[in-house]
Amino acid sequence: MSRRIRLILFLVSGAGFAALLVWGELGLPPFGRYQGPYGTILDSVAVLQRHATDVVASVTFDYRGFDTLQEEYILFAAVAAVTLLLRAERDESWQPPSDEAAGRIVARPSDAIWLIGLSSVAPVVLLGIYVVTHGHLTPGGGFQGGVILATAPMLIYLVGEYRTMRAVSPTSLVEVAEAVGAAGFVVVGLAAMIAGAAFLTNFLPLGRIGSLASAGTLPLIEVSVGLEVAAGFMLILSEFFEQTLELRHRRARE
Partner 1 sequence: MVPAPLPVVLPLLVAAGMTAAGRRLSRRAADLTSILTAGATTALCAGLVVQSAHHYVVYWFGGWKPEHGIALGIAFVVGPFGAGLAGLAALLITLAHVYSWRYFEAVGTLYHVLMLVFLAAMAGFCLSGDVFNMFVFFELMSVSAFALTGYLIEESGPLQGALNFAITVSVAAFLMLSGIGLLYGRTGALNLAQIGDALAGKKPDGLVIAAFVLVSSGLLVKSASVPFHFWLADVESVAPNPVCAVFSGAMVTLGVYGVGRVYWAVFEGSLGSHRAEVRGVLLGLGVVTALLGGVMSLLQSQLKRLLAFSTIAHVGIAIIGLSLLSPLATAGAALYALAHGTAKASLFLSTGVLAHRFGTVWEDELHGRARRLRLAAALFALGALALSGLPPFGTFLSKGLIDDAARQASLGWVGGVTALASALTGAAVLRFAAHAFLGWGVPERGAPSPHEEEAETRGERWRTPAVMAVPACALLVLSAAITFVPGIGRGAESVAARFQDRGVYASQVLHVPAPIPAHHHLEPASPSASAVESGLGSSVLAVLLAAALVGRRRLPRGLGTRLAHVLRPHSSLLHSVHSGLVGDYVAWLVFGVAALGGLFALALR
Number of Cβ atoms within 10 Å of the Cβ of 231: 26
Q: Which is nearer to partner 1, 122 or 190 (CB)?
A: 190
**29 to 48: interface string for partner 1, x by CB under 8 A:** x----xxxxxx-xx------
Q: Does 202 bind partner 1 (CB under 8 A)?
A: yes
For residues 153 and 237, is the Cβ–Cβ distance under 8 A?
A: yes
Q: Does 194 bind partner 1 (CB under 8 A)?
A: no
Number of Cβ atoms within 10 Å of the Cβ of 98: 6
Contacts of 213 (CB under 8 A, 6+ apart): 207, 219
Number of Cβ atoms within 10 Å of the Cβ of 94: 8
The one-letter amino acid at 69: L
Options 102, 103, 112, 172; binder of partner 1; rule CB under 8 A = 172
Q: Which is nearer to partner 1, 214 or 217 (CB)?
A: 217
Q: Does 85 bind partner 1 (CB under 8 A)?
A: yes
CA nearest neighbour of 241 among 146, 158, 172? 158
Q: Which residues bind partner 1 (CB under 8 A)?
A: 1, 6, 9-10, 12-17, 19-21, 23-29, 34-39, 41-42, 62-67, 69-71, 73-74, 76-78, 80-81, 83-85, 87, 89-91, 172, 175-176, 178-180, 182-183, 186-187, 189-190, 193, 197-202
